[in-house]
Structure 1
Amino acid sequence: MSLVRRGTDPAGKAMGERERGGKREKAAGSPEPAQGGELLYGVHPVREALQASADRVEALYLAHGRRGAVICEILQRAAHQGIPVYWKERRELDHLTGVRTHQGVVGRVKPRSGMSLEALIRSAGPAPTTLLLVLDEIKDPRNFGSLLRSAEAFGVAGVIVPRHRAAKITATVAKAAAGASEYIPVVEVVNISRTLLELKKKGFWVVGGVAKGGDPCYTHQFREATALVLGEEGRGLRPLVQRQCDFLVTIPLSGRIKALNVAVAGGILLYEIRRQQGCREEEHRGGMGREK
């Protein structure tokens, strides 16, 4: 498979291709690199990876016939960053990714650099509107990805997850996050309970989301730097983690279904926290803080 380094013409065809006898032929170029690294697939994850960093994407693989405005944008960014583009049959991309939901767009990327808890706290700081999301053993990759998407959308400073017994950032997670995983720091820690204790020492209020038994989320006053903690769907927060929470909040439900998907619940709680923090921003500047 040969290399295409240039952008696209107005018709959406990759420059460097030519037509011969009704068949598309590749322009001569460098050989395809050896397989390695990590993969992203899907239009949004690949586009956001290109936009977020100039050196994260090492190569692109696009399905023959894939066109449109977004593909033009991806090709133009690849050309600007000097990223090689390889055109593949869809079945080749199915084999490469192990899925059929790649949308004809695959990127080979460098691994993300990790961040320590200390670095996250330093960069975020316990300002009145600082918001962190702590996930206690969320194992479903689609829930994890959806939570990352909501966290980025609501300006969460970082997401904290356990190093073990939890979903990792994979291509499936990145696709569910629609590219949000490229922007939001994700910190892995050994012990969630100890991490919550450390956050409290640094001035954060730790609020656990529970299915029942907590304060209604709209009556609880989210006045200061907040770490929202969510547990695995079904089981919820582990008892030791729940005991480290300063407060517990619940989303009141009025229908027959008495439980929400954890990703949906997380989005609602993040919105409510942000809504209150926005309304009270001037009050927060008056010096109301966690008592030491």
Structure 2
Amino acid sequence: MSKDFDKRPRGGRPPERRRERRFAPVSPGDRRPDQLWLYGIHAVAAALGNPRRTILRLAATPNALARLKEEGVPLPATVEEAENRALDRLVGDGAVHQGVAALVEPLDALPLTMLGDARLIVVLDQVTDPHNVGAIMRSAVAFGAEAIVTTGRHAPTETGVLAKSASGALEWINHVEVPNLARALTELGELGFTRVGLDSEGEATLETAMAGERIALVLGAEGKGLRRLTRETCDTVARLDMPGAIKSLNVSNAAALALYVARRHLDAPAG
């Protein structure tokens, strides 16, 4: 194990400062075109176990490293021993890194043709908050969805913030990126997906909107909701019936409920 983080040679800049200028993002989750820092036990452990992920560096406190070993996480040959304050400088003040950070290459997004025999997917229409997207990924994995579909623009890039919010789900769900969402929804319909848009004023209840053996849940950004062309390309726009005074939910909470309903429909016995 390397202990370069603790060495401070006389008369020179600390090694972590020199590395920081080369590797560290300007702010938490900020990403260079070819690399980013992931942090937090779950996010890093999942990345280490993902054969599609290229790990460039791993820095951890002794306690965090012991926890990774206890969980049987595969570790690279070289691990840099770091104190919490050194990790703070790498990933940014305020990032809850839990004593571990990994410098990685971003994952490649997949084309729509890679959906294969997927039965449940989530389509995001300009949902840009990385906390929400990460939470949606976590729920999607929990309910067995195979993919998240976003556009190349108006969607968050892969960042440490998103990965931390996803709690490992970033490594376990396929990310499909499309240039045009309405065209992609049309293709999904041709592939046999029932495209269910979510809107607080939808004409149908979510439960009655579920149909067929393949479901694509379509969610819009908070505030704006689904764009007009997106709504028109869905088979139905459905609402979550809520008897309370508040009639809408955060998009990540709405996604979790919709995924639950969709999974119950897909797993129901035929007939």
TM range (shorter): 0.7 to 0.9
Match of 2:110 in 1: 115
Q: Does 1:124 align with 2:117?
A: yes
Higher mean C-alpha displacement, 252-261 vs 69-78: 69-78
Q: Kindly report the root-mean-square deviation, in angstroms, between the aligned alpha carbons of the 2 structures.
A: 2.4
* Partner Cα distance (2:79, 2:126) in 1: 37
Mapped contact 1:124–1:157 kept (Cα < 8 A): no
Match of 1:3 in 2: 2
Q: Does 1:237 align with 2:226?
A: yes
Query: Runs ≥4 in structure 1, deviation > 6 angstroms?
Result: none
Mapped contact 2:196–2:209 kept (Cα < 8 A): no
Match of 1:247 in 2: 236
* Partner Cα distance (1:66, 1:185) in 2: 32
Mapped contact 1:93–1:102 kept (Cα < 8 A): yes
Residue type of the alignment partner of 1:275: R
Q: Does 1:85 align with 2:79?
A: yes
Structure 1: runs of 5 or more not aligned = 5-31, 284-292
Instruction: Give the one of 264, 267, 271 matched to 1:278.
Output: 267
| Amino-acid identity (%) | 36
Match of 1:73 in 2: 70
| TM score, norm. by length of structure 1 | 0.77
| TM score, norm. by length of structure 2 | 0.83
SS in 2 for 1:77: coil
Match of 2:101 in 1: 106
The alpha carbon displacement at 1:74 in A equals 6.2
Q: Does 1:44 align with 2:37?
A: no
* Partner Cα distance (2:171, 2:152) in 1: 19
Q: What CA deviation, in whole Å up to 9, does each residue of 1:61-109 have, x standing for no partner?
A: 113x53586333368621xxx4311112222211111143111110111
Mapped contact 2:194–2:210 kept (Cα < 8 A): no
* Partner Cα distance (1:74, 1:108) in 2: 20
Cα 1:58–1:68 change in 2 (3 A) is: closer
The alpha carbon displacement at 1:144 in A equals 0.3
Matches within 5 A, 1:1-292: 3=2, 35=23, 37-53=35-51, 56-63=54-61, 66-67=63-64, 70-73=67-70, 77-78=74-75, 82-100=76-94, 101-120=96-115, 123-124=116-117, 130-280=119-269, 282-283=270-271
Cα 1:131–1:89 change in 2 (3 A) is: same
The alpha carbon displacement at 1:51 in A equals 1.9
* Partner Cα distance (2:37, 2:65) in 1: 22
Higher mean C-alpha displacement, 139-148 vs 106-115: 106-115
* Partner Cα distance (1:91, 1:171) in 2: 17
Structure 2: runs of 5 or more not aligned = 4-18, 24-33
Q: Tell me the number of residue pairs that the alignment of Structure 1 and Structure 2 aligns.
A: 245
Cα 1:54–1:221 change in 2 (3 A) is: closer
Q: What CA deviation, in whole Å up to 9, does each residue of 1:109-162 have, x standing for no partner?
A: 122122111122xx235xxxx011100000111000000111111111211101
Cα 1:95–1:200 change in 2 (3 A) is: same
* Partner Cα distance (1:224, 1:86) in 2: 48
